[in-house]
Structure 1
Amino acid sequence: MTSRQQPKTLWLGRWGFILAATGSAVGLGNIWKFPYMTGEYGGGAFVLVYLACILAVGVPIMMVEIAFGRRGRGSPIDAIRRVAQESGRGRGWSLLGWMAMLCGFLILSFYVVVAGWAFSYLWKTVSGGLAGSSVDDMAAIFAANNANPWVLGFWSTLVTVATMFIVGTGVQKGIERSVSWMMPGMVVMLAIMIGYAVFSGGFGQGVAFLFSFDLGSLSSEGLLAALGHAFFTLSLASGAILTYGAYLPDHSSIARTTFTVAIADTLVALMAGLAIFPVIFANGMDPAAGPGLLFMSLPLAFQAMPMGMLFAAIFFLMLSMAALTSAISMIEATVAWLNESRGISRVTASWSAGLVLWTLSTLAMLSFNVGAEWTLAGMHVFDWLDYLTSRFMMPLGGLGMALMAGFVIRNAIFRSELGLSPGSYSAWLFMVRYVSPLGIVLIFIDSLGLVSLDLGRQWPWLLALLALFTLGGEWLTPRFGRQRIVQGRS
């Protein structure tokens, strides 16, 4: 096998990948989840820890996924298998690719329902269907929206059809062309929203809330939430970034590209906070309103402000675009695998995957209405899809990617792909082998709820665990890793 698989399709330029990868990362997690998590966990202190976690966990793992994708030039399954075989390893490592691809597909199957909320609220805003005088009124509108399977099903189906149409058109004509206007459009709309927030009367409070770093206000639960969100916001371990990396030109710097995506993703999240919190504070509402912040509190706040419904429409249009760019990335791994490994045309692969996706997402959608009684262990289909992907598949997939890159794949492969200086490469390797896996293990333990972690008191044990990771890795490397240099390429 040659040292590098020849690409079938490439982004037209480095910025094509950056816009697509940023579109994957900038989804409902940035504009919906990040603001309400910031509100719940102490504002600026949460933001500071979140940024640190992006650097310590998110960026190193993202570089791993892009390098795997570009080296293997294929879907997660094919790319990981090719890189593993190049290092003299068996095909069994491709199981990580299978899990990543399945994880992205399952996430999308309930994500399109949430994306449907954004599209439906855009319609309600322009048609006057969001009239209410209290948070309770808004909660009733939200509940009624979910209770009608025909309404909710229509919007989730619309998201599915739009996603498959764009993906079926191709990487350059469909995905790259779409994100080339959706991402800049989203940033422009956020900037307009921030300009509106400046004159809302609560901008100073919003800025102080986001950027006042009082670490004493951050609980151990908030630290773990920041760690988890930093990992999940970059679309890691879902097959999206790895597949997009397969289309990255050889001459593009993976390190610069990764940092650009991470910075853009973080800036959009902070811009969303600057757009949302001033409006919330100006109307005397609670920034820690939780998941209802965007669909209950914020619409009510817009109604109370001059030209509020115009800016509400702009906001929900932006939210819909963010949801669509993420949906595109999560289905691309499956479509790429069907197209490349099974020889199915991209159009047929897209609509075939879309049909399966629509079936599963319909079951998830029915969890809110006629299928409310269909539970297993007290959870609906929607809840199970979220539970399995966020608590098991993503952490385990990310951990597997990090350990495989750190201990299984030949160092020469990642040295070649990343193109880092010796010192920078050593720092990256240390992060991938020890720091990032420790962070992922903490996320995994916390998500299972089997052990109560208090990072404020248990930090000595965490340092000891990091030391154990390091010593164990250094002991294993000559026995499990360096021998692969002698084996050469398969």
Structure 2
Amino acid sequence: MNTHWTSRLGFILAAAGSAIGLGAIWKFPYTAGTNGGAVFFLIFLLFTVLVGLPVLLAEFYIGRKTGKNAIDALKELSPNQTAWAWIGRVGVFGCFVLLSFYSVVGGWVLAYFVHAVSGSLNASTNYEQLFGATISNPAQAIAYQAVFMLITIWVVRKGISEGIEKANRYMMPALFIMFIILAIRSLTLPNAMAGISFLLKPDFSAVTANTLLTALGQAFFALSLGVSTMATYAAYLDRKSDLFRSANSIMWMNMAVSLLAGLVIFPAVFAFNFKPDAGPGLIFMVLPAVFQKMPLGTILFAVFMILVTFATLTSAFSMLETVIAATIRGDQSKRAKHTWGIGIAILIIGIPSALSFGAMADVKLFGKTIFDLWDFVITSLIMPICALATTVFIGYVQNRSQVWAHIREGSSLPEMVVRIWYGALRYIAPIAILLVFANTLGWIKF
């Protein structure tokens, strides 16, 4: 079994798939919609470049430098300070929990594919009611979540080159093509310019502390940072790979899909009189309406939901792979058994999240449903803590000259670029992360 990427493109598409997933397609539109649209997008872009990219490269360093899973990699890089391995342990735990509720949303995507092919979507459908009925049906929620997890397990058990890389090589280009077609159609809808202005014409008077902090949190989520996935994927890279070019490609692909998702969603929001702050169900209410305005719309919607399923799965692959890599520790003979066992465990743990919109909607911990609680724990606690620890570990604990030398392997970039990256990692990223975390816990208020 090949345990390395067969090409740089394969790695970029897989890592971009991990980053894009539902972060760009599902979460970006509704977080932008509830935080001012264009001004949120602009701040998100700045944070992604100034904070997300430096942390992404730091995770790449951890993985490729050692060629090991996240926990063992950190142990090797800090042989006399093994406490740093907790960055990897917490990240692996974060992936386990994240996939347990992420797979619920993946199930929603599969459900909408079934809605499309069954003919239950038409011009008279009330899409808000349909979404509510879809996520509140206990049997359907668990069944679709289970199917989503079984697909994820089936691919990851085959390993890197034969499973994850091969799947992404076809999924990601197809997704881009379909998004471009959709964006063109959405831009020709009546009143589309109102949606374009909402996405691309910033109103700086709408900026609040929450806008800044939510944009930074989205930058973490969108690049899969703080849960060791990028360190795990980078462990399968050879020394000839250009880490800077790969990181830039992944970041800009993620931004491109986020922009395309906005160009699909927001013109349609205003054309069909939806509310841009409709929340997590936004794409499930808006996209069916867009397709109903297109020739062969039902068929095209089914095709599109397959592609969204692909994008969702690419993120799921990276989460499960991070956990599997940490448990098999390079012994590929254990992969299939561990993948099935851990995958089923994640499915079971995720059942309460699947029921959080129906049978267990009234079950709350700390004032949150199970789904919302896990979302808060991962995106507001684990991601910023692990991202901050990574910046400190690479920026202050590791030997600077060794970090610089390894980062430049396979790259022809001048040393000045490395200096800028290292400065951002040491100063800009930690300060920004600390502000997010402190505000989340209520230690400071802006």
Residue 461 of structure 1 aligns with which residue?
none
Asked if residue 118 in structure 1 is aligned to residue 105 in structure 2, the reply is no
Instruction: Give, in angstroms, the shift of residue 10 of structure 1.
Output: 1.6
| Letter of the structure 2 residue corresponding to residue 169 of structure 1 | K
Residue 405 of structure 1 aligns with which residue?
394
1:97 alignment partner, one of 88, 92, 98: 88
Figure out how many residues of one structure are paired with residues of the other and give that number. 442
Contact 2:380-2:440 at 8 Å conserved across structures: yes
1:445 alignment partner, one of 413, 438, 445: 438
Q: TM-score, normalised by structure 1?
A: 0.85
Taking the aligned partners of 1:160 and 1:30, their CA distance within structure 2 comes to 20
Contact 1:10-1:248 at 8 Å conserved across structures: yes
Instruction: Give, in angstroms, the shift of residue 240 of structure 1.
Output: 1.0
Contact 1:193-1:315 at 8 Å conserved across structures: no
| Letter of the structure 1 residue corresponding to residue 418 of structure 2 | Y
Contact 1:18-1:261 at 8 Å conserved across structures: yes
Asked if residue 22 in structure 1 is aligned to residue 13 in structure 2, the reply is no
Contact 2:62-2:74 at 8 Å conserved across structures: yes
Judged with a 3 Å threshold, the aligned counterparts in structure 2 of structure 1 residues 357 and 48 are, in CA distance, closer, same or farther, namely: same
Instruction: Give, in angstroms, the shift of residue 344 of structure 1.
Output: 5.5
State which drifts further: 402-411 or 147-156: 147-156
Asked if residue 289 in structure 1 is aligned to residue 278 in structure 2, the reply is yes
In the alignment, structure 1 segments of 5+ residues that lack a partner are 1-6, 454-490
| Letter of the structure 1 residue corresponding to residue 103 of structure 2 | V
Contact 2:138-2:359 at 8 Å conserved across structures: yes
Asked if residue 221 in structure 1 is aligned to residue 210 in structure 2, the reply is yes
Contact 1:59-1:258 at 8 Å conserved across structures: yes
Instruction: Give, in angstroms, the shift of residue 62 of structure 1.
Output: 0.1
In the alignment, structure 2 segments of 5+ residues that lack a partner are none
Judged with a 3 Å threshold, the aligned counterparts in structure 2 of structure 1 residues 132 and 452 are, in CA distance, closer, same or farther, namely: farther
Asked if residue 39 in structure 1 is aligned to residue 33 in structure 2, the reply is yes
| Letter of the structure 2 residue corresponding to residue 70 of structure 1 | R
Instruction: Give, in angstroms, the shift of residue 307 of structure 1.
Output: 4.2
* Residues 201-258 of structure 1 deviation map (CA, whole Å, 9 limit, x = unaligned): 3443333332223323333321222121112210001121110010112011111110
Asked if residue 175 in structure 1 is aligned to residue 164 in structure 2, the reply is yes
2:403 alignment partner, one of 401, 404, 414: 414
| Letter of the structure 2 residue corresponding to residue 119 of structure 1 | L
Matches within 5 A, 1:132-147: 133=124, 137-147=126-136
Asked if residue 108 in structure 1 is aligned to residue 102 in structure 2, the reply is no
Q: Secondary structure at the match of 2:364?
A: coil
Residue 329 of structure 2 aligns with which residue?
340
Contact 2:156-2:321 at 8 Å conserved across structures: yes
Contact 1:132-1:138 at 8 Å conserved across structures: no
Q: TM-score, normalised by structure 2?
A: 0.93
Q: Secondary structure at the match of 1:367?
A: coil
Instruction: Give, in angstroms, the shift of residue 187 of structure 1.
Output: 0.6
Taking the aligned partners of 2:332 and 2:246, their CA distance within structure 1 comes to 31
Asked if residue 184 in structure 1 is aligned to residue 177 in structure 2, the reply is no
Which has the larger Rg? 1
Q: Secondary structure at the match of 1:222?
A: helix
Asked if residue 58 in structure 1 is aligned to residue 49 in structure 2, the reply is no
Taking the aligned partners of 1:316 and 1:219, their CA distance within structure 2 comes to 34
RMSD over equivalenced CA pairs, Å:
2.1
Residue 197 of structure 2 aligns with which residue?
208
Instruction: Give, in angstroms, the shift of residue 404 of structure 1.
Output: 0.5
Instruction: Give, in angstroms, the shift of residue 145 of structure 1.
Output: 1.9
* Residues 117-172 of structure 1 deviation map (CA, whole Å, 9 limit, x = unaligned): 111011112212235747xx433322222232221111100110000110001100
| Letter of the structure 2 residue corresponding to residue 241 of structure 1 | M
Asked if residue 148 in structure 1 is aligned to residue 137 in structure 2, the reply is yes
